[in-house]
Amino acid sequence: MIQMDTSNARSFLPADFLTSRLDALEGARQKLETGSGLGGDFTGWVHLPRDYDKEEFARIQAAAQRIRQDSQALVVIGIGGSYLGARAVVELVNSPNFNLTHKNGLEIYFAGNGLSTDAMLEVMELIRDKDWSINVISKSGTTTEPAVAFRIFKNLLEEKYGKEEARKRIYATTDAKRGALKGLADAEGYEEFVVPDAIGGRYSVLTAVGLLPIACAGVDIAALMEGARESMEALAVPGASNPAWEYAAARHALYTAGKKIEILVGYEPSFRFFGEWWKQLFGESEGKEGKGLFPASVEFTADLHSMGQYIQEGERLMLETVVRFQKSSGSIAIPHDPDNVDGLNFLAGKDLSFVAEQAMRGTVLAHVDGGVPNMMVTAPGRDAKSVGALIYFCEYVCGLTGYLMEINPFNQPGVEAYKNNMYALLGKPGYEDKKAELEARLGG
Amino acid sequence: MIQMDTSNARSFLPADFLTSRLDALEGARQKLETGSGLGGDFTGWVHLPRDYDKEEFARIQAAAQRIRQDSQALVVIGIGGSYLGARAVVELVNSPNFNLTHKNGLEIYFAGNGLSTDAMLEVMELIRDKDWSINVISKSGTTTEPAVAFRIFKNLLEEKYGKEEARKRIYATTDAKRGALKGLADAEGYEEFVVPDAIGGRYSVLTAVGLLPIACAGVDIAALMEGARESMEALAVPGASNPAWEYAAARHALYTAGKKIEILVGYEPSFRFFGEWWKQLFGESEGKEGKGLFPASVEFTADLHSMGQYIQEGERLMLETVVRFQKSSGSIAIPHDPDNVDGLNFLAGKDLSFVAEQAMRGTVLAHVDGGVPNMMVTAPGRDAKSVGALIYFCEYVCGLTGYLMEINPFNQPGVEAYKNNMYALLGKPGYEDKKAELEARLGG
């Protein structure tokens, strides 16, 4: 379902970039398959599209239906992997303006993914006169950003509906057995969904973490899982013709050859947050021990008029990966202009998507000529099934390259550093010494 | 008005990073001041906040008032600098959800900045039942993306209002004397505003290019210009205490020392498109002759849970520049929870902005400890005046560092490469040989 084309990176690669890595890729495949590699306890996503909990899946669909009936808005509280995957899918399948177009069938507001006062006040204002519910997503229940947001929105919900009714409007996606949010959900009787132990945040979009908000947006989550399952089966087959192997080998070879930045290129505004999800997936997986491709994303053709100059002629550190969707949902014919003021009558009657396709093909060659290896991932469309296939493809490639780079693609030890400093500066009990030390460094 | 703090980059810098560059900075200052450096014909932005055309400015304000009276929506057609500056300011001052919150007073849709069929169909659908106008922004009138969009939206407008009334609803920002759009605007009697010759696209936000859409969004453009003027005056003063000199010297010294990526950090969702504008400004100015810092942007604390791991522990290629706004528009007190389920009662009663501030301070130190030099730009707020000051500050720093890097900070020769390939593949008359060559390379 997902096709890979590395032909426009070949001039930057040794001829044996793939064949020389077949053994290493087979080793990586086995590690993913059996969970025997570094971080192997977090490879639950590998067989998820086949092994997911069908009973919970049905409850997710039922809960989404209930929320869509009794609510005009859903506040989704989560950060990192508990935020980006759902937003990526909803924007890509529906629209980045999903709350404006009403394509979702209900409004969705993502909260608790930052600490902006004005952004939170805006959500509070936008839901004020609507019926709404909460989906709070946190494995522990103690991560600062979502925990603070949950305190605030839970209070608002209780003010609006009373404690009893509010309980029925809170859906908690959390640890199956332990943690602050699990304890609260049990005590209060929230409907609960599971953040699995064996799947890290950035690989969790196809668990309840992503699926409940995505289903609430009216996206067909059965099709999403079906697409992921097709990818899973296709990519489990070892060998040089496996598109994930080809991409992983090319990425690794280009990195080994000195490229330091991978730019993910989309041609649709609706792809922007898929790019953000992808940046977490690859950046958090690879960016450790002083290694990894720095992940960036652009929206062409818009950014050809901003980042285009740098990509064409700046430092030669980059590779590009274009994600191409074979078809648009609609079509627009370019009108004829009797005066041909802009000189574009040679395009009259042509479809806009034809222009976009030629822009993309021309850009690939321009950037190759400028010294930027180009790779292309093609998905059939932006429907749920294609997007499910694309998600799994990215996850699998990320697992493979992580092992080629000889790092643990499933941990994120560096995320604690800012948290610990923040706790100290906030005056969290137990951090007194660290607070004094940090305040001294900050001259405050 | 804009403060610069490089103290958290000092451990990565030689002690004389600034003093050793004072002569070069004085040279750069004079080049900007007199237009005597590389690309000096495009330094019209330097004195713009003082010398701008006051008659045209009044016409912009009047046109905005008229549009806000007779229209519920404005379609702004432009790409690159004719798009990013206006969107950046409207999002930062009003909200990234400006069409949802109705903070603008009218809806604004940016079109012609890409070739997505689905994005254009969505705008067509969203304006269908509204009264609307067009602001088409293009110096030449022949750039493919905006020209195609203008054909389409002009047709729609004429279908809705008839040719006569449609003419009164089209506002053309274009060359003062020549070009396809200028000719059409003269012939049709559109109200016209000027894209000045001496100011390139990425420096044009404070000309009619940015000001008309920004004024239509209800933002006080007089305050915006006043802020820019204050920055202009402050930054014209030579010497080591000039904040733009300090930032330019530190950026250049870090680049010289081997840093390759500058990450612009914001803590507000409303800052996202300011980051995009900044990426064009710096990337297009510096990214040439194999030089330049690769510009990236992140939204913290959200992206501390996605890009944070890479920044903390990935390849050590980065520097960070945090843009801090001294105050939020509103405030939110963190509620007390009798059960203290999440353990956050030590924050109860505290303002959310206090938490955000400590997160920012803690993150700076965490990243410094991880080997990432941090610099901080502080603006008073996100009001129009502060944003005007911030815009000019960024432009001025960009001009200075461009000359320190010994490149022309005002051209963009690399942007033509994709355009020429696209024209050829589209079958533009005169490109037949190139088309054959490219199609052969593409194997199609």
In chain A the domains, ranked by start, together with CATH numbers, are: 3-37+225-404 (3.40.50.10490), 48-219 (3.40.50.10490)
**Which residues in chain A have Cβ-Cβ distances shorter than 8 Å to B290?**
313-316
CA–CA dist B396, B46 (Å, integer): 8
List CB contacts of B133: < 8 A, sequence separation 6 or more: B67, B70, B71, B73, B74, B75, B157, B169, B170, B171
State yes or no: is A284 an active-site residue. yes
A262 SS3 class:
strand
The residue in chain B having the minimum alpha-carbon distance to the alpha carbon of residue A100 is B100
Taking an 8 Å cut-off on Cβ atoms, the answer to whether A361 and B438 are in contact is yes
DSSP string, A279-323: HHHHHHHH--TT-SPEEEEEETTGGGGTTHHHHHHS-S-EEEEEE
Alpha helices in B169-220 (DSSP H): 180-188, 208-216
Taking an 8 Å cut-off on Cβ atoms, the answer to whether B342 and A417 are in contact is no
Give φ, ψ of B165 to 5 degrees: -70, -35
pLDDT grade for A285, boundaries at 50, 70 and 90: very high
B317 SS3 class:
coil
The single residue of A54, A55, A305, A315 carrying the catalytic annotation is: A305
Residue pLDDT, tens place only, A74-130: 999 999 999 999 999 999 999 999 999 988 889 999 999 999 999 999 999 999 999
CA–CA dist A429, B129 (Å, integer): 57
Supply A212's token pair.
């409940």
Supply B270's token pair.
């409303």
CA–CA dist A300, A316 (Å, integer): 20
Supply A87's token pair.
């937003």
DSSP string, A120-157: HHHHHHHHTTS-EEEEEE-SSS--HHHHHHHHHHHHHH
Residue B331: how many other CB atoms lie within 10 Å:
13
B40 SS3 class:
helix
Residue pLDDT, tens place only, A369-417: 999 999 999 999 999 999 999 999 999 999 999 999 999 999 999 999 9
Of all residues in chain B, the percent with pLDDT exceeding 90 is: 98
Taking an 8 Å cut-off on Cβ atoms, the answer to whether A280 and B307 are in contact is yes
Taking an 8 Å cut-off on Cβ atoms, the answer to whether A79 and B302 are in contact is yes
| Residue A444 pLDDT | 55
Question: Which residue out of A87, A116, A277, A325 would a mutagenesis test of the B interface target, given it has the greatest number of B Cβ atoms within 10 Å?
Answer: A116
The residue in chain B having the minimum alpha-carbon distance to the alpha carbon of residue A147 is B342
Interface of A with B in 185-214 (CB under 8 A): 201-202
What residue ranges of chain B have pLDDT lower than 50?
Answer: none
The single residue of A163, A327, A419, A432 carrying the catalytic annotation is: A419
List CB contacts of B257: < 8 A, sequence separation 6 or more: B12, B13
Interface of A with B in 377-396 (CB under 8 A): 382
Question: Which residue out of B291, B351, B418 would a mutagenesis test of the A interface target, given it has the greatest number of A Cβ atoms within 10 Å?
Answer: B418
| Residue A425 pLDDT | 96
Residue pLDDT, tens place only, B107-158: 999 999 999 999 999 999 999 999 999 999 999 999 999 999 999 999 999 9
Nearest to B103 by CA among B329, B427, B388: B329
Supply A330's token pair.
């609609």
Nearest to A318 by CA among A298, A293, A283: A293
Question: Which residue out of A97, A102, A106, A118 would a mutagenesis test of the B interface target, given it has the greatest number of B Cβ atoms within 10 Å?
Answer: A118
**Sheet bearing A107-111, strands edge to edge:** A107-111, A73-77, A132-137, A170-174, A191-194
Inter-residue contact A112 to A148 (CB < 8 Å):
yes
Nearest to B39 by CA among B396, B402, B414, B416: B402
Supply B171's token pair.
């506002």
Q: From the list B101, B291, B313, which residue is nearest A287 (CB)?
A: B313
**Which residues in chain B have Cβ-Cβ distances shorter than 8 Å to A280?**
305-307
**Which residues in chain B have Cβ-Cβ distances shorter than 8 Å to A201?**
305
DSSP string, B1-16: --EEE-GGGGGGS-TT
Supply A320's token pair.
């590009």
Inter-residue contact A46 to A183 (CB < 8 Å):
no
Query: The whole model's pTM is what?
Result: 0.98
Residue A328 has pLDDT above 90, yes or no: no
Interface of A with B in 277-296 (CB under 8 A): 279-280, 283-284, 286-292, 294-296
Taking an 8 Å cut-off on Cβ atoms, the answer to whether A121 and B330 are in contact is yes
B129 SS3 class:
coil
* Alpha carbon distances (Å) from A361 to A321, A349, A382: 13, 20, 20
Nearest to B214 by CA among B111, B77, B61, B316: B61
- Answer whether B112 touches A (CB < 8 Å): no
CB pairs under 8 A between A and B: 435
- Answer whether B113 touches A (CB < 8 Å): yes
* Alpha carbon distances (Å) from A333 to B151, B155, B166, B422: 11, 12, 21, 18
**Which residues in chain B have Cβ-Cβ distances shorter than 8 Å to A410?**
none
Taking an 8 Å cut-off on Cβ atoms, the answer to whether B414 and A313 are in contact is yes
Supply A170's token pair.
């809170």
**Which residues in chain A have Cβ-Cβ distances shorter than 8 Å to B180?**
341-343
Residue pLDDT, tens place only, A330-372: 899 999 999 999 999 999 999 999 999 999 999 999 999 999 9
- Answer whether A258 touches B (CB < 8 Å): no
Residue B348: how many other CB atoms lie within 10 Å:
13
Q: What is the dihedral of CA A80, A243, A262, A276, to 10 degrees?
A: -20
Of all residues in chain A, the percent with pLDDT exceeding 70 is: 100
Q: Which amino acid would we find at residue A157?
A: L
pLDDT grade for A218, boundaries at 50, 70 and 90: very high
Q: Do the strands B132-137 and B170-174 form a parallel or antiparallel pair, or are they unpaired? A: parallel
CA–CA dist B371, B314 (Å, integer): 10
Supply B300's token pair.
């913290």
Taking an 8 Å cut-off on Cβ atoms, the answer to whether A313 and B117 are in contact is no
* Alpha carbon distances (Å) from B250 to A76, B263, B319: 41, 14, 10
| Residue B444 pLDDT | 55
Nearest to A329 by CA among B84, B340, B125: B125
- What is the average pLDDT value for chain A, to the nearest integer? 97
Backbone dihedral region for residue B156 (phi beyond 0: left; psi -120 to 50: alpha; all else: beta)? alpha
- Answer whether A443 touches B (CB < 8 Å): yes
Residue A136 has pLDDT above 60, yes or no: yes
Q: How far apart are the first and last CA of chain B?
A: 56
Inter-residue contact A438 to A282 (CB < 8 Å):
no
Q: What is the CA radius of gyration of chain A?
A: 23
| Residue A327 pLDDT | 82
Taking an 8 Å cut-off on Cβ atoms, the answer to whether A332 and B117 are in contact is yes
Q: From the list B95, B118, B184, which residue is nearest A122 (CB)?
A: B95
**Which residues in chain B have Cβ-Cβ distances shorter than 8 Å to A318?**
294
| Residue B423 pLDDT | 96
Q: Do the strands A294-299 and A318-325 form a parallel or antiparallel pair, or are they unpaired? A: unpaired
Q: From the list A117, A287, A425, which residue is nearest B331 (CB)?
A: A117
- Answer whether B34 touches A (CB < 8 Å): no
CA–CA dist A33, A51 (Å, integer): 13
